[in-house]
């Protein structure tokens, strides 16, 4: 790029609005003009290898780089530690391999009826925000957890919001997004997820959108839930079969939905088939690469 073009570009960037305090991620993302869909891979795709100790996180990084993905999602279950020296070594390795980070992923149980347990969830998320910052990632996946017996959906949402608000305030200090994954229980359908996003009302809260995880009765209901969550999507997990119905996902249709919504971010393979990941993941990654080239500006 010529110097004059660089100066023109940076001058324009300087006047663009940033993430405004008190605005939701969906509101701040609404000004994006074109989709930018990046190819990612989740460490969870190789859960059997990492759980057994046959692979380390470093092995996963090398394999992902050889696959040609642009970023990795670090499932923290298999980190050796959260010591700064170790996290910095992973960050350095990712740089040497030319890998970005789509984010990190932790387990959380925010839907707690006891105030003390909710406070502990806030502290846990804060600790992992610090670890994510040291790793060099800008996104942290969290879970709401299940409703306690006898609790109502409204109560569950209020408890999650109570945890997310201070967690997002802390995340904002590090420039890190918190993405709640649609999983089961309270986040089994889009309605509850969107309600949580609207009540949290933070530019640092979003949805870690797994396109196959909704507990919807039909494939069409699955697509409807995906569409409802896309405006809040901060990271996307890709599989090729719906969890509940078992139906094959029309990935081209899904990519069209994200492109039309001007989503910018990672489309990360999270492989969970019975077939060996070393044969299944490359095939799914190639599909993701093709679709990102087809529907993205990059």
Give 103's strand partners: 73
Q: Is 85 exposed, middle or buried (0-12, 13-18, 19+ CB in 10 A)?
A: exposed
Each residue of 121-152: pLDDT tens digit? 999 999 999 999 999 999 999 999 999 999 99
Walk me through the domains of the chain, giving residue ranges and CATH numbers: 21-295 (3.20.20.150)
Each residue of 38-59: pLDDT tens digit? 999 999 999 999 999 999 999 9
Each residue of 75-95: pLDDT tens digit? 999 999 999 999 999 999 999
Three-state helix/strand/coil letters over the chain: CCHHHHHHHHHHHHCCCCCCCCCCHHHHHCCCCCCEEEEEEEHHHHHHHHHHCCCCHHHHHHHHHHHCCCEEEEEHHHCCCCCHHHHHHHHHHHHHHCCEEEEEECCCCCCCCCHHHHHHHHHHHHHHHHHHHHHCCCEEEECCCCCCCCCCHHHHHHHHHHHHHHHHHHHHHHCCEEEEECCCHHHCCHHHHHHHHHHHCCCCEEEEEECCCCCCCCHHHHHHHHHHHHHHEEEEEECCECCCCCCECCHHHHHHHHHHCCCEEEEEECCCCCCCHHHHHHHHHHHHHHHHHHHCCC
Each residue of 232-291: pLDDT tens digit? 999 999 999 998 888 999 999 999 999 999 999 999 999 998 899 999 999 999 999 999
Give 75's strand partners: 105
- pLDDT at residue 11, as a whole number: 31
Separation CA 126–CA 138 (nearest Å) = 14
The percentage of the chain sitting over the pLDDT mark of 70, rounded to a whole number, equals: 89
- pLDDT at residue 185, as a whole number: 87
Contact 41, 15 (CB under 8 A): no
- pLDDT at residue 184, as a whole number: 83
């Amino acid at each position: 790029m010529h110097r004059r073009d660089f100066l023109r570009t940076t001058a324009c960037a300087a006047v663009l609005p940033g993430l405004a305090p008190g605005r939701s991620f969906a509101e701040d993302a609404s000004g994006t003009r074109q989709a930018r869909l990046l190819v990612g891979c989740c460490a969870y795709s190789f859960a059997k290898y990492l759980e057994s100790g046959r692979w380390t996180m470093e092995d996963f990084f090398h394999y992902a780089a050889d696959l040609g993905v642009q970023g990795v999602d670090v499932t923290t279950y298999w980190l050796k530690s959260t010591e700064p020296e170790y996290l910095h070594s992973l960050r350095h390795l990712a740089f040497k391999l030319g890998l970005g980070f789509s984010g990190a992923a932790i387990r959380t149980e925010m839907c707690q009826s006891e105030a003390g347990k909710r406070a502990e969830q806030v502290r846990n998320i804060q600790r992992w925000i610090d670890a994510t910052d040291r790793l060099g990632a800008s996104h942290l996946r969290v879970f709401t957890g299940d409703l306690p017996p006898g609790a109502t959906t409204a109560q569950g949402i209020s408890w999650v919001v109570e945890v997310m608000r201070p967690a997002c305030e802390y995340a904002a200090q590090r420039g890190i997004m918190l993405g709640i994954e649609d999983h089961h229980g309270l986040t089994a359908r889009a309605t509850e997820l969107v309600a949580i996003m609207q009540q949290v009302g933070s530019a640092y809260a979003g949805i870690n959108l797994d396109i196959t995880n909704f507990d919807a009765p039909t494939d069409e209901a699955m697509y409807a839930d995906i569409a409802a969550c896309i405006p809040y999507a901060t990271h996307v997990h890709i599989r090729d079969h719906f969890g509940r119905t078992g139906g094959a996902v029309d990935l081209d249709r899904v990519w069209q939905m994200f492109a039309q919504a001007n989503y910018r971010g990672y489309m990360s393979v999270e492989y969970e088939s019975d077939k060996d990941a070393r044969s299944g993941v490359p095939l799914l990654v190639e599909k993701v690469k093709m679709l990102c080239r087809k529907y993205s500006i990059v």
